[in-house]
Chain A
Amino acid sequence: APVLDWKCTICENVNKGGVKCTLCGVPRQNGSEEVLDADSTHLNALLNEMGNNAIEQSPIRCPICTFDNHGSMKTCEMCDTELPQTPDDTAAATSSDATSIGTPQYPRLRTAEQASAYRDASNFVTLIKLSFRAGGASAFYTSLKEGVSNSVWLVVGNGDFWEPDQAQSQLQQQQQPVTPGSMASGRDRRPAAGGISTIVSAAHETERARENTVRSAFLDLDALTEKANEIISMAEHIATQLNSPAASKLHRTSGMESDEDNAERMDAFRQYLLDLGIDSPVTRDTAGAVFHEELARELCDYLENYVSQCGGAVALVDAYCLYNRAREFSLVYPADFVQACEKFEALQLPLRLREYPSGLLVLEDAGSASDALIISRINNYIKSFGPVTANDLAAIEDCPLNLAEERLWLCERAGELCRDESVEGIRFYENVFLSVVSRRDGSEYL
C-alpha cells in the first residue's frame, strides 16, 4: 500500500507518511488534510475539471461526416475536416504554449485553463493526450518507451547526470509537448544514460580513483623507506658509539663485579643493532656487472657468523629469508641469491653452497663442512649413542631434519653407514658389512 501524503496544518509542508511534520515537528492532527501522492492529486484535479468541461461543452458535429466530436476538438476526429470553432476554443489554441505545434495530428491540451492550472499545480505537464490520425503511433510509442526507460530527461549532453538544482530549471525548459521529432533530436543531443559514453565515463572515474590510491600508497611507502634509512643510520651510530674507546672506558669504571656481565650485554645489544639492517646494500644499480660477486661478498660478511652459530650449515631458504629481512626494502631475487652463492668458491670466501642429491641447497662453513668431517662426526655419534635415525641426528646436530637425512645418506653413499628399514623408520648403523671384509675367511660356510 502506498504511503499517503499529508499536509501539515501549521506549516503546510507536505509530508510523506509519518506522525510528525518533518519541517516543524508538529504531530499530525486529525484535521490535517490527507492527500494522495502529488501526481495523483493533480490527476484528480484535472479529471474533475475535464468532467466539468465535458458537461459544459456540447459536442460539435462534423459538417462532413456527421461525427459528434468533443467540444474541444478543432478538427474532426474521423475525417480531419475543420470543425466550426466556438469562440473560447480559438482563445485556448492561441494562448496555450503547450500547443505550439499547430498540426492537427499532434496533441495539445484541451484548454488553456486546464493547461495553466495544471502547470501551476505541478510545474510541468503530467497528462498529455495524443491521437494519431495518419499512423506513426507505434513508432512514437517505441521512442517514448525507450526514452522513459533510459530516463533521457536526467541526462545532459556530456553524459553526466544532472545536479538536482539544475534539473529544476532544465525541466522547466522542457515543458514543450513531446513529439517524435523532438524525441529524436533530444536523443542526439543527450546520449542515453545506459549508453557507451556512460560506461566510458564510469571507467574513467574508476581509473582516476585508482590512480589516486596508488599515488597516495607510494607516498606512504617512500616515507616509510625514508624512516627506515634513518633508523638504520641511528643503529649504526649507536653501534659505533658503543665500539668507541670512550664507551669501553665507561664500562670499566662502572664497577668491577658487573664488568663482564656488562660486556656480554653490550655484545648482544650490538648484535641486535647489526641484525637490524644492512646499510647501503649492494644493488644491481650500484654494482653493475660485478653485482653477483659483490653480493656474494656482502652475503659472506653478513651470514658468516650466523652459519657458524647454526653448526656450520644453514638451509639456503633460511639464509635467504634472513638476508632479505636485513636488506629491508631493496630485496634480492632468489635467482640472484643462488648465483651469488655459487660464486663463493671462486672468490675464496669462507662459505660454500652445497647441493645435495635430493636438490636440497645448503650454505655451509667451508672449514667445517667437508664430507670427511661430516662422516667422522656422525661416526662418533654412532659410536657413543648407538644407531641413529635422521630425527636423532637432527636433534644432536640441531639442524633441519632434511639436512640430517642428507648427511646420513652422504655417509651411506660413502659406505660408512648401513641402513635398517623397519616399521619404525630407517635407522643407520655402522657399516659392519664392509668392515668385516678385512677379517673374513669365508671358508666357514662352504
Chain B
Amino acid sequence: MANTFATSAAEGTSSAFQFPEIYSFPPFFSRQPNEATWREQRRQWCELILAYYKHNRLYSMSLAEAATEPPFTNRQIHRSLRVDVLRELVDELVKQGNAVWTGAKNTKDSCLIFWRKPDVWASMIHQWASERGMFNTVLTLFELTNGDDTVGQEFHNLDPTTLRRALDVLQSQGKAQLFVGTSDEDMGVKFFT
C-alpha cells in the first residue's frame, strides 16, 4: 500500500515518485529512542531522501521549509518529521558524503544533497569530455550544464555548486583546470586526458 505523490518540483519528468511502504507507517515519523531501531529507521530515511531528490532532480534543501513538505510530511497519515530529527538525518548524510552543510557556519539550516557523489559526477563529465573530444578546449561552466552539447546528459542542468565540487575533484586528479573569470558565472574549465 505505497503512497504516491505528484512531485511539483520535478523537472522534465511527470512520473510520480513511488514512496516505500514504510512511508505510511506512523512510527516512521517519530525518532525512535531504541538505538538499533533508530539506526534502521535512519538508514531507511537516508535512502528515501536520496531517492526522492534524485527522482525530482533536487540539489539543495532548506530544512525548515523541507520539513513541512513531502517526503518529510505525510499528509495522508498526518505525520511530520521534526526539524531536529531531520537535522540528525542530514548529519548522517554528510558523514556518508552524500550531503554538505551550506549557509552560515554551524547553523545547519540548509544543505546540498548529493544524490550522486561529486566524484561520480566528475567521472561522468570527464567521460563525456573524452567522448566529445573536448580535451584541451576551454569551456564555460554554463556551456557545460546548459549548452546544446550536453542535452540528454545526466549532468545537464546540474546545480552550479555541485558542478564546482565535481570539477574540483577533477582538478585535484589533474584531469581539468579551472579558470577564474570576472564573475562566478563565466568561469572556465579545460579538460585533460
A residues within 8 Å of B by Cβ? 387, 412-413, 415, 418-422, 427, 429, 431-434, 436-437, 442, 444-446
Contact = CB atoms under 8 A, between A and B. Distances in A.
B165 to A, nearest CB: 19
Contact of A418 (B20, B37, B50, B78): B37
Contacts of A413: 34
Contacts of B20: 444-445
Contacts of B40: 433-434, 436-437
A398 B186 CA distance: 73
A316 B36 CA distance: 32
B30 interface: yes
A446 B37 contact: no
Nearest to B30: A421
A415 B36 contact: yes
Interface residues of B, number: 22
A5 B40 CA distance: 105
Nearest to A409: B33
A412 B30 contact: no
26 contacts: A387-B26, A412-B33, A413-B34, A415-B34, A418-B27, A418-B30, A418-B32, A419-B27, A419-B30, A419-B32, A420-B27, A421-B30, A422-B30, A422-B79, A431-B37, A432-B22, A432-B25, A432-B27, A433-B27, A433-B37, A434-B36, A434-B37, A444-B51, A445-B50, A446-B47, A446-B50
B48 interface: yes
A276 to B, nearest CB: 47
A429 B37 contact: no
A427 B22 CA distance: 16
Contacts of B33: 412, 419
B22 A418 contact: no
A116 B16 CA distance: 131
B150 interface: no
A445 B18 CA distance: 10
Contacts of B73: none
B26 A433 contact: no
B177 interface: no
A418 B39 CA distance: 13
B38 to A, nearest CB: 8
